[in-house]
């Protein structure tokens, strides 16, 4: 059996309690995942690990925006099209205003998320970008068999959020890294079974699997198994996580606990 693991954003800023965007429960999620992966290490044919990767200056970070009093937004502020049009929020650099307005308008049109301001996280070159230690150790153990983890970088374009590992929320035609990652989609098609995990269930896990399956046949969707006790939603977005689970189960995705996978 051609067994793949797809592990989404298992990074310190999400899965370490000291991380800047810690998802409650993610530390234990990744410990369980590390145990599961170690149990099946000799059976695994491929491991794909996505890495959220940001600059300090980012359209979804506080530094990018100012209110009419000159204050940056607090994390988890929602910036709507109306708020930009009425001047409630404006870009710190005036020359960015037009493109930022077009961005929030595009988000509203595609209907997935409004612009959320996040604490700066998974910054390039910073410890929060690294894979959390228990899982990193198991990945190294697997690579010691002369295998190679497929690390997928996403999020370095500061003009767009990039929850999904296979495309940005608003792709930038001038930046191939924001366009549909057909290479990853096609590689996963070759698997017989894909164990899916990572952070966070409400955002990056949900959008990655939605975007992959949008480009797959029903037969391929049935290969997906979400390891349900190795992923958690961002607090306040639990409803989005539940909507995702309901939708994907209806489309043929399976779910299982880590202790029950391939036993």
CA distances from 43 to 9, 31, 37, 188, 250 (A): 23, 19, 9, 16, 29
pLDDT for 43-56, tens place per residue? 999 999 999 999 99
Identify whether the C-beta of residue 257 lies closer than 8 Å to the C-beta of residue 227. yes
pLDDT at 13 over 90: yes
Per-residue pLDDT reduced to its tens digit, 196-207: 999 999 999 999
Q: What is the Cα–Cα distance from 260 to 262, expressed in whole angstroms?
A: 6
Catalogue all structural domains in the chain, each as residue range(s) with its CATH number. 3-56+121-260 (3.40.50.850), 62-116 (no CATH)
Mean pLDDT taken over the chain: 96
Q: Which of 148, 202, 157 is nearest to 176 (CA)?
A: 157
- Helix (H) and strand (E) counts in the chain: 9, 10
Across 209-229, average pLDDT: 93
Phi, psi of 90 (to 5 degrees): -140, 160
């Amino acid at each position: 059996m051609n067994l793949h693991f797809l592990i989404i954003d298992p990074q310190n800023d999400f899965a370490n309690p000291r991380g800047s965007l810690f998802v409650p429960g993610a530390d234990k999620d990744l410990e369980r995942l590390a145990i599961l992966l170690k149990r099946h290490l000799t059976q695994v044919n491929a491991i794909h690990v996505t890495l959220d990767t940001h600059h300090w200056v980012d359209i979804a970070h506080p530094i990018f925006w100012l209110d009419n009093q000159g204050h940056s937004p607090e994390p988890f502020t929602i910036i709507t099209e109306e708020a930009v049009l009425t001047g409630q929020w404006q870009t710190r650099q005036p020359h960015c205003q037009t493109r930022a307005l077009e961005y929030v308008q595009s988000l509203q049109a595609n209907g997935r998320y409004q612009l959320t301001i996040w604490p700066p996280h998974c910054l390039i070159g910073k410890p929060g970008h690294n894979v959390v230690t228990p899982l990193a150790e198991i990945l190294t153990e697997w690579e010691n068999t002369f295998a190679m983890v497929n690390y997928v970088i996403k999020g370095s374009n500061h003009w767009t959020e990039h929850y999904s590992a296979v495309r940005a929320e608003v792709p930038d035609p001038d930046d191939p890294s924001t366009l549909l990652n057909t290479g990853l989609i096609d590689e996963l098609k070759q698997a017989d079974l894909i164990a899916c995990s990572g952070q966070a269930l409400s955002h990056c896990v949900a959008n990655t699997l939605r975007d992959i399956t949008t480009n797959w046949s029903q037969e391929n969707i049935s290969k997906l198994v979400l390891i349900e006790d190795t992923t958690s939603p961002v607090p306040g977005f639990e409803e989005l996580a539940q909507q995702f689970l309901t939708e994907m189960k209806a489309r043929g995705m399976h779910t299982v606990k880590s202790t029950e996978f391939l036993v």
